[in-house]
């Protein structure tokens, strides 16, 4: 084992900075020296964002889930597998609200109209839409029909 004194942290970080963050796979110039809070041992150099994310995940897992350190990587692997594999064709009511909000928030009126056409709105339905509220209501209706 080797002790890394505070006056050598910057040099170590610079010499060991990867080309891309090993967690977030991003290019950055904002690197931090990550360490295990239990052992105090350096784990590596990662982006500041990844370090923040990792800290939040670890803190939540240990404090809220009462998980054991050994099982955290297994839990994260299980979470990744779940995210990749857990897919149904069932739209959650909150999901519909989120889709509708995103439709309103991220699309211009012309893009909203194009999206409504893409998901099956008739010309007659589109003509009745005089504002964003009408387009959002039609969007909700068409999405619900699609999933029924």
Output b/e per residue, 84-115; b: 16+ Cβ within 10 A. eeeeeeeeeeeeeeeebeebeeebeeeebbee
Q: Is residue 132 part of a domain?
A: yes
Q: Tell me, yes or no, whether 62 and 98 share the same domain.
A: no
Q: What pTM was computed for the model?
A: 0.75
Mean pLDDT within 110-126: 97
Task: Specify the pLDDT at position 49.
Answer: 98
Chain Cα centroid distance, residue 29 = 21
Chain Cα centroid distance, residue 22 = 16
Which structural domain, as residue segments, surrounds residue 57? 9-68
Question: Which CATH number is 17's domain given?
Answer: 3.40.1800.10
Q: Is residue 81 part of a domain?
A: no
Domain total in the chain: 2
Task: Judge contact between 132 and 100, C-beta under 8 A.
Answer: no
Residue 93 clears pLDDT 90, i.e. is over it: yes
Q: Is residue 126 part of a domain?
A: yes
DSSP 129: -
């Amino acid at each position: 084992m080797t002790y890394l004194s505070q006056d050598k942290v910057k040099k170590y970080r610079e010499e060991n900075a990867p080309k891309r963050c090993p967690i977030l796979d991003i290019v950055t110039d904002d690197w931090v020296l990550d360490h295990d809070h239990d052992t105090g041992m350096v784990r590596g150099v990662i982006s500041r964002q990844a370090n923040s994310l990792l800290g939040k995940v670890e803190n939540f897992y240990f404090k809220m889930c009462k998980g054991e350190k050994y099982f955290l990587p297994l839990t994260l692997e299980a979470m990744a597998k779940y995210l990749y594999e857990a897919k149904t064709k069932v739209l959650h009511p909150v999901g519909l609200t989120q889709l509708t909000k995103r439709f309103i928030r991220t699309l211009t009126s012309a893009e909203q109209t194009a999206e409504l056409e893409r998901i099956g709105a008739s010309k007659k339905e589109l003509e009745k839409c005089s504002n964003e509220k009408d387009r959002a209501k039609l969007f909700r209706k068409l999405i619900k029909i699609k999933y029924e």
